[in-house]
Amino acid sequence: MSGLNTELVPVLRRGFRFQWEPAQGCHVLLYPEGMIKLNDSAGAILAEVDGQRSIGAIVADLSARFPDVQGIAEDIMVFLEVARERFWIEFR
């Protein structure tokens, strides 16, 4: 299981913007040097990152929306750790 504290609040790092990109047909992260195309799962998780809600609240919301997905909580936590390692997000 992930070592992240579920009370932490994820936020996009300064300079990053999350949005739907019609030309790409997916959600993307835009930043001054380029663009990161996100798969559906990553887009669903980052859509929940609003700088207000905790990791625990995001996990609870996505778990309720996708009750048939086994291991969703761990998948979300792992993705958030990777996003932090890649400097897309930070935690408060």
| CATH code of residue 45 | 1.10.10.1150
Instruction: Please tell me whether residue 23 adopts helix, strand or coil conformation.
Output: coil
**Tens of pLDDT, residues 3-60:** 789 999 999 999 999 999 999 999 999 999 999 999 999 999 999 999 999 999 999 9
CA distance 24 to 35: 11
Q: Give me the domain span that covers residue 43.
A: 10-87
| Chain centroid, CA 91 distance in Å | 12
Label the pairing between strands 17-21 and 10-12: unpaired
Q: Is residue 43 part of a domain?
A: yes
Q: Is residue 2 part of a domain?
A: no
Q: Is residue 3 part of a domain?
A: no
> What is the number of structural domains in the chain?
1
Return the pLDDT at 48.
98
Q: Is residue 31 part of a domain?
A: yes
